[in-house]
Amino acid sequence: DAGVIQSPRHEVTEMGQEVTLRCKPISGHNSLFWYRQTMMRGLELLIYFNNNVPIDDSGMPEDRFSAKMPNASFSTLKIQPSEPRDSAVYFCASGGDTHYYGYTFGSGTRLTVV
């Protein structure tokens, strides 16, 4: 099991550009979460999918952020247009039905918007 796979590991982009972060959850996990981590705000839950359906996106900061999960093995988080304050580490996590062992996190994508 390769765990939760995120790409890219690092992304540097200019303000105003579109950014797409990618996540491949663990096979068999039916829940997927996107978190954002900054020094100021710590780890924040952005959006949560269950069986590929977005359940709660109340953590998405604004309309510039969108997330999709077209199938059980792939999810994207898109920022359009990006702003310097979006600079953060974005983590994807997946979990199974019972969540007994909590969630498994990916290694994250470090986004820098200049």
Partner 1 sequence: DAKTTQPPSMDCAEGRAANLPCNHSTISGNEYVYWYRQIHSQGPQYIIHGLKNNETNEMASLIITEDRKSSTLILPHATLRDTAVYYCIVRVLEAGANNLFFGTGTRLTVIP
Q: List interacting residues with partner 1 (CB under 8 A).
A: 4, 30-31, 33, 42-43, 45, 48, 50, 55-56, 89, 91, 93, 97-108
Report the nearest approach of partner 1 to the CB of residue 80 (Å).
Answer: 24
Q: Which is nearer to partner 1, 70 or 102 (CB)?
A: 102
- Residue 85 region, left (φ>0) first, then alpha (ψ -120 to 50), else beta? alpha
Q: Which residue has the tokens 């949560």?
A: 48
Which H or E element spans position 111? strand 109-113
CB within 8 Å of 46: residues ≥ 6 apart: 33, 34, 35, 36, 57, 59, 60, 61, 65, 67, 77
Q: How far apart are CA 65 and CA 96, in angstroms?
A: 25
Report the nearest approach of partner 1 to the CB of residue 81 (Å).
Answer: 27
Q: Which is nearer to partner 1, 71 or 98 (CB)?
A: 98
Q: Which is nearer to partner 1, 66 or 104 (CB)?
A: 104
Report the nearest approach of partner 1 to the CB of residue 66 (Å).
Answer: 18
Report the nearest approach of partner 1 to the CB of residue 82 (Å).
Answer: 21
